[in-house]
Amino acid sequence: MASPPVTQSCTLCNKQNSNYCARCKCTSYCSKTCQKVDWSTHKLLCPSFPTFAISSRPSVNHYRAVLFNADEAKPRFIWLLCKWLEKDDEEDEDDGLVYEYEEDDEENYQMPMTKAIIGDDVSASHTPIQHNSRLNIPLSDTIFVTYRDTFSIDGSRPNKSVASITTTQPGTYTDWRGPIVAYAKVGRGMDPPTCRHFDMIDFRHVTDYFLSHGYTPPKAQANVARVKGVRINCLGDVKMLKKSPFEAIELPTTDPIFTKHDTSDIADRIGLSILTRRCPPDPKWANKSEDEMFEHSSPTNNQNATFLHQCLDPNAEFDFSTGSMGWGWCSMPWQNDVGSAIAVRKDRKPLLPLQMEALAKWCREEVRPILAHSIGEFTPEEPISKEDVLTIICRPMFVVYWTRFTSEREDYETPSPYDDVSV
């Protein structure tokens, strides 16, 4: 392991002549205040850093990196193979060989072999970090964060390791999903050729990357308009946090859902267009197993949100690039490990919990069987035509369901979702 610099600066404020962390002896702090601010995320890797011995390094072409496994409670160090390749070489699979290219040859560069982690059948995005926007400092080297380009649409599971970082600070963040790898290269520029070991200072910069990516501050100023919506809670939030399956919420009009969201074909068709967005897992249940508390199911199970997203496009086909599963199916992001989700009306009028519950259960109990029939799940019956399905899924049919739904609950006060909707 490389020796620390003679004069070290504070990892947070960059003040000189700071003291090293007593355990990892890599990051340094000028005061207890800075150390305390950093501790909530620093502690995730600090204990394992000094014990991740270089003596266990598989080869000279393996470098210390960090894996953010979607299914693990926190990130961990790994040995990442970084092959020396010639500029004109194609990236290939790991064949277990050690390449002996000279590091000072300008025509050669090191390629981290992340395919086995990120996935062979998807393209990976290697996002460089050369400036820490939260600390407002430039980095002397380049850190890369590698993830699936399609993580938001390919049904990837919520990343619990990243959630262990983003849940330490208030606010709304990107809903990271699937596996993520972070590694370091020497120097800056478009694509530095040489890899190096990832250290705890690099981890601070990656932490700040996750805490700034897609960040929306929690404060909602008085002059910012707010929209009434509903949080559709998953099994984990219902069982562990004792939340209602349909919870009233208010969102500022600056919330990311108004710029980056999914929609519901069914809600559009009946004149109640909504915007939906999945929520990161709560750390209190994110790493719980499928035990009796969760009815031997995943805590991310949320069929109320899933069936809102059944496809009604007669021409839709399977398309991995968009996450489409075709007619009658929910898109990939809404198939498994959905977690909790929020929903608001596209027209920004109030959406009430009972209205959302009725829509979700209509999609699940009434619409789903019809779509299942249309794709042959009731064989030997002749499947109902798509045209007939679209005729059945209409505003009058939902109005009939709404009337029965509210009557069974003896709720005569909640207004119909159409009360303020123009015909």
Summarised one tens digit per residue, pLDDT across range 36-52 is 999 999 999 999 998 88
Q: Note whether 131 and 187 are same-domain residues.
A: yes
- The predicted pLDDT at position 100 comes to 40
Q: What is the pLDDT of residue 281?
A: 82
The strand pairing partners of 30, in sequence order, are none
> Binning pLDDT at 50, 70 and 90, where does residue 240 land?
confident
Tell me how far CA of residue 280 lies from CA of 247, 270, 328, in angstroms. Answer: 16, 29, 26
- 133-137 long-range contacts, Cβ below 8 Å, gap at least 24? 133/208, 133/212, 134/208, 134/211, 134/212, 135/12, 135/13, 135/14, 135/208, 137/14
Where is pLDDT greater, at 54 or 111?
A: 111
Among candidate residues 212, 246, 274, the one where a domain is terminated: 212
The letter for the amino acid at 92 is D
Is residue 243 in some structural domain? yes
Are 203 and 236 part of one and the same domain? no
**Residue 382 and residue 353 share a domain:** yes
Q: Is residue 130 part of a domain?
A: yes
Question: Is pLDDT at 191 greater than 50 in this prediction?
Answer: yes
Q: What is the pLDDT of residue 4?
A: 47
Residue 3 lies in a domain: no
CB 178 within 8 A of CB 218: no
Which of 84-93, 250-259, 369-378 has the least mean pLDDT? 84-93
Chain length of the chain: 423
Number of domains in the chain: 2
Residues 199 and 233 in one domain: no
3-state secondary structure of 11: coil
Q: Whole-angstrom Cα distance, residue 246 to residue 308?
A: 14
**pLDDT for the residue numbered 373:** 96
Burial 61-88 (b: 16+ CB within 10 A, else e): bbbbbbbbbbebebbebbbbbbbbbeee
Same domain, 190 and 329: no
Do the domain assignments include residue 419? no
For 167-183, what is the mean pLDDT?
A: 89
Domain of residue 335 covers: 226-408
Per the listing, tokens 């086909």 go with 317
Q: Confidence class of residue 342 from pLDDT cuts 50, 70 and 90?
A: very high
**β strands within 1-132, DSSP E:** 19-20, 28-29, 62-68, 76-86, 108-112, 124-132
Q: Higher pLDDT residue, 323 or 86?
A: 323
- pLDDT the model gives residue 252: 87
d(C-alpha 17, C-alpha 10), whole Å: 8
Residue 177 CA: distances (Å) to CA of 180, 278, 281, 330: 8, 11, 10, 18
Nearest-angstrom CA–CA distance, 207 and 152: 20
Domain boundary among 212, 242, 275: 212
Report percent pLDDT > 90 for the chain.
Answer: 55
pLDDT computed for residue 6 by the predictor: 47
CA distance linking residue 401 with residue 361, whole number of Å: 10
Same domain, 268 and 337: yes
- CA–CA gap between residue 353 and residue 355 (Å, rounded): 5
Is cis: bond before 50, omega within 30 of 0?
Answer: no
**Same-domain check for residues 237 and 293:** yes
Angle (CA) 395 400 401, round 5° = 95
Question: 94 pLDDT exceeds 60?
Answer: no
SS3 at position 76: strand
Distance CA 423, CA 418 (A): 8
pLDDT score of 80 more than 90:
yes
Give the HSE-up count for residue 11: Cα atoms under 13 Å, Cβ half-sphere.
30
pLDDT in tens, 119-162: 865 678 899 999 998 888 899 999 999 999 888 878 888 899 99
* Whether residue 129 is found in the same domain as residue 243: no
Q: What is residue 248's predicted lDDT score, i.e. its pLDDT? A: 95
Query: Binning pLDDT at 50, 70 and 90, where does residue 89 land?
Result: low
Cβ–Cβ under 8 Å, residues 104 and 150:
no
Q: Is residue 187 part of a domain?
A: yes
Could you tell me if residue 392 is inside a domain?
Answer: yes
Give the whole-angstrom CA distance, residue 303 versus residue 308: 9
Domain identity same for 237 and 208: no
Boundary-marking domain end, from 159, 186, 212: 212
- Is position 355 within any domain? yes
Q: Which residue has the tokens 């020497």?
A: 186
Instruction: Tell me if residue 112 falls in helix, strand or coil.
Output: strand
Position 341 scores a pLDDT of 95
d(CA 364, CA 356): 12
Residue 419, CB-side half-sphere exposure with 13 Å CA sphere = 11
Whether 422 is in a domain gets the answer no
Residues 173 and 314 in one domain: no
- Please state whether 74 falls in left (phi above 0), alpha (psi between -120 and 50) or beta: beta
Specify the residue for token string 């990243």. Answer: 162
What is the reported pTM? 0.67
Q: What is the largest CA-CA distance in the chain?
A: 79
Cα 215 to Cα 3, 120, 170, 209: the distances in Å are: 35, 30, 10, 10
Closest Cα to residue 146, out of 171, 176, 125?
125
From 117-131, 284-298, 388-402, the region with the lowest mean pLDDT: 284-298
